[in-house]
Structure 1
Amino acid sequence: MSGNEPESAMDEYDAEAPMGLKELLGLPDRLPPLRLPSDEELAVAARQSTLLDRLRQLALRAVERPGAEWAAADVIAAAEALGVRVPDSVEELDDIPDLACLWALAVDAGFFDPAHPDVPGPALEEWPDGGVEEVLDTWSDVLGLIVEGGFHGESGDLDLEDVGVFAMTMLFMARNDGMPIAELRSMIADLADAEPDEWDAWVGTSGDPADRLLAMLTDLGAALVDGGIARLTPLGQYAFAGALTASGVEVPLLPPVEETTAEELVEFAKGVGDAELEAELAAWIASRTPEEALDALLTAAAAGAVEDRMIAVTIAKTIEGEQRWRQALDEPVLRPYAKMVFQELSGDEPEYELTAAEAAWLLTDLLSTASDAADPDEIPALLAESVPAGQEVEIFEQIWRLDHPHAREVLELIGRTHPEKRIAKAARKAALKVQSR
């Protein structure tokens, strides 16, 4: 991977599936950007893969002694060398299912070919001493095989065909915050759409699919499990981002922190948790002066959409810079926010008191961003927190007069969701005024 576009890790899945990952998973055209280590750092991590080392060891044994000639002693010796549990009775490879799984994975990944047992496969020649691109390609190919085919041929009547893909997507969307393993187990059980007795019987015999998948992803180096939370490693994020990119979902990569723009920082903030954002923000601010950082954020806030403006302003409030905030008082879309900042700094001085129109602007920003994320039933509560009881009609009269792109949308939303008929009717009437002006 180089530049800003990760390579595909699961091209075979994307090409052969009836629909691509984007359509299968109902994903948007673009996801928030990722902060990943360099390709060189990712390759170093990939070379530490326990699973890839086991595939290599198995392939070396297979090349030295073709599988068709393996006696029970050879199978047992290979299993013991790889740390695979050996049952009481072993006559052939299939008698040790975990070893047979590793064998199939090594063949599919190109470590060796049973049809040409004396010739090392291309992956065996490239792993682990190949170049950065070869190492990452080999590692990503194995991830694709695990995600695509982890339960093929063994699920019976259960529908586990796309379990790996959905699980990886959920983990990817959770980013560094991770996902509770219990939630992952529940999601996979729902996907299987089996009767409880049937599901319990399968799990009792074969193990929980979530646990099995996470075990393989952990051995590969694609996931970490800690305290009941599973999360993808940077390698796992890198590879699955490539699969999504190949499917038509743009997953940008952030450039070096000193080159990251305020707009890119805001986009990044939409897809990460507080801890990850704090770390990125600290590095971003440290790479420039506070004045430069604040100016970039407020410039982005003034030019951006409502959600971007609110995120940029929230971040900007953490940076000192009174002069730039005073300049923001002259920018209509930022003036209400700047006044709020100076209220916090100077107290309730009259010059920083919000006008009715400015208060309406802040409320419209708030409700327009909340309309997508919040439960519709929460909108009345947000209104009540922002507007004193009895002043709703007055604020609606201010909103419909605003040159705000979401004025009508917000008023219609209140009109649909507010439980008090008087308030809902007033909001609907104000929305009609926006439409007719």
Structure 2
Amino acid sequence: MSTHHPEAPSQRRFAARPVSLLPIEALADRALSSDLLRSAVDLARWCGPVTPVDVDGVPDPQDVRTAIERCGLWPRALDRTPERRAAWADGITSATQAEDFLAAWRTAQHLGMIECETGQARPTPDLERWLDSPGRVLRWWTLAFHSCVEQSLRGIAGLEPQTTLARLYESPNGARVPLRLVTQEILPAREAHYLPARCPAWNSVRLTRALWRLSDTGAISLGWYGPRSDGAGARTPRAAPSWVQLTDLGRFGIRQILLAEEQSAPLTEEFVRLDADEFLDALADFSPDGQLVALTAWLDARSPEQALREIVTVSSGPGLALRRWNATMALGTISSRVEPQLYALLRSGDPTLAGLASVVLLASRMLSEPERARLTAQFGHWTAIDMFAAATCLGETGLKSFLVSEAAEGIDRFLLDDVTRLWRPEHPDTRSVLRLLGQHHPDPSIAARARAASAHAPPRAEGS
């Protein structure tokens, strides 16, 4: 009998996991250090006291070349030797040829750092005062980040931004997510339906270009697992990175997007104060990565004994199968530190709590083979029904997903090999589980056995 937990169905849309944020002053410092905001501020200062601009509010090519050299706005892929830089700059006849300059200039204008009127650009009079305000800096950065997200992920990669952002937001703090995994997770479904066979590689390139652009905001870091050089040993700035990492600033920015869309985006310090029932019920709404983060945060705020007491108090009784399912995940992380209390629950006389304790102990690998066999024989049928009942709480799709998952392997046959054990004692969800297994199990023979077991259920005791 498997003691793994079933995967949640991929079709579900998960709630954002709890996150911790740096203080506003630290976030503002990082925002000002990002390439995007630093370049915009540099250009705003450079254009003073006044700089002539055309009808589109853009300096002439000579001033563009001066600003690029002064502020270091060279293209990322350009060879950094002075000769190559000079040759490239001499070829500029319009600001549109200097993509990095123009992006930073438009950002400074959009954020109000630069004022343009009567053919002249100048830094806004309040620029230096505003730079000393962390709140103002973060508002600037958030606006620039939102704009860059749209331009890079939607404009360059042709992706729904939230798909990519959610993948990074759910990853544990500091995790370096392999770029190939991000590509596999967010591109295949789209490509399979809309793009010819030659396009997946092209779209991976577009995603990489989009992430390079997004890295200028300071929201993500890109890196390599090994040396990055060409055959001659020179660094290759445009080489495809190996991993992408969400920064503290990026986590703040994505949370602002979620809040603007009126989605739940809890902070860890708020989440850890939840009562055990709210905590366990919330776990069902997180992704697998989100569950890991939420479990760690909530349990770290309590002693193992306190966590066990709080969880046990809210996990007993009918109609709480999904909560107990989540409780086994929580208690599984502290099982070695509450082993005596778990054995005490086995003797509690409450089948819901005894079953809960048996699952945690079976998954802990602390038991000998005879002990495992004894617990499986004593509590196996009850806990099997409880697991199926929990899966049904996720809807028909959740049950079907569980039935074909590794977690369900062998449980159905174990359950139906000794039908008489189904009713000693009877789980309150036994009849509904058998009915649903009979309707939805992918193996016709097991579905038929479930229907037969349901048809021969003993009559309910009067008053039950």
Same fold (TM over 0.5): yes
CA distance in 1, matches of 2:100, 2:196: 27
Question: What number of residue pairs does the alignment pair up?
Answer: 397
The 3 A distance-change label for structure 1 pair 172 and 339 is closer
The 3 A distance-change label for structure 1 pair 380 and 168 is closer
CA distance in 2, matches of 1:399, 1:55: 72
Amino acid aligned to 1:181: L
The answer to whether the aligner puts 1:359 opposite 2:380 as a matched pair is yes
User: What is the 5 A alignment of 1:172-251?
Assistant: 172-174=169-171, 176=173, 177=175, 179-185=177-183, 187=186, 191=190, 193-195=194-196, 208-226=205-223, 227=225, 228-251=242-265
The 3 A distance-change label for structure 1 pair 234 and 341 is same
The 3 A distance-change label for structure 1 pair 383 and 287 is closer
User: What is the 5 A alignment of 1:118-137?
Assistant: 118-121=121-124, 124-125=127-128, 128-131=131-134, 133-137=135-139
Q: Which runs of 5+ in 2 are unaligned?
A: 1-10, 76-84, 226-241
Q: Describe the SS at the equivalent of 1:255.
A: helix
The answer to whether the aligner puts 1:75 opposite 2:64 as a matched pair is yes
Q: Could you say which residue in structure 2 is the equivalent of 1:57?
A: 42
CA distance in 1, matches of 2:424, 2:142: 52
CA distance in 1, matches of 2:367, 2:195: 62
Q: Could you say which residue in structure 2 is the equivalent of 1:403?
A: 428
The answer to whether the aligner puts 1:424 opposite 2:447 as a matched pair is yes
Which of 1 and 2 has greater Rg? Answer: 2
CA distance in 1, matches of 2:171, 2:400: 20
Q: Describe the SS at the equivalent of 1:224.
A: strand
CA displacement at 1:112 relative to structure 2? 1.9
CA distance in 2, matches of 1:416, 1:102: 57
User: What is the 5 A alignment of 1:275-286?
Assistant: 277=293, 281=296
Retained in 1: the 8 A contact 2:18–2:290?
no
Is 309-318 or 394-403 further displaced after alignment?
A: 394-403
Is 317-326 or 89-98 further displaced after alignment?
A: 317-326
Q: Describe the SS at the equivalent of 1:333.
A: helix
- Identical counterparts, % of pairs: 20
User: What is the 5 A alignment of 1:375-386?
Assistant: 376=401, 379=404, 382-386=407-411
The 3 A distance-change label for structure 1 pair 383 and 257 is closer
The 3 A distance-change label for structure 1 pair 36 and 364 is farther
The 3 A distance-change label for structure 1 pair 67 and 333 is farther
The 3 A distance-change label for structure 1 pair 417 and 66 is farther
Retained in 2: the 8 A contact 1:302–1:309?
no
Structure number with the higher helix fraction is: 1
CA distance in 2, matches of 1:317, 1:328: 14
Retained in 1: the 8 A contact 2:114–2:123?
yes
The answer to whether the aligner puts 1:36 opposite 2:24 as a matched pair is no
Match of 1:97 among 92, 96, 99: 99
Q: Which runs of 5+ in 1 are unaligned?
A: 1-25
Retained in 1: the 8 A contact 2:17–2:291?
no
Q: Describe the SS at the equivalent of 1:231.
A: strand
| 1:122-171 Cα distance to aligned partner (Å, 9 max, x none) | 9945654213x32322221111011123378x87xxx93x5444432333
| 1:198-238 Cα distance to aligned partner (Å, 9 max, x none) | 888x87xxx93322221232221211224423232232222
The 3 A distance-change label for structure 1 pair 379 and 399 is farther
Retained in 1: the 8 A contact 2:385–2:433?
no
CA displacement at 1:326 relative to structure 2? 1.8
Asked which structure has the greater RCO (Cα within 8 Å, sep 6+), the reply is 2
User: What is the 5 A alignment of 1:245-260?
Assistant: 245-255=259-269, 259=273
Amino acid aligned to 1:360: H
Retained in 2: the 8 A contact 1:221–1:233?
yes
CA displacement at 1:244 relative to structure 2? 1.9
CA displacement at 1:29 relative to structure 2? 8.2
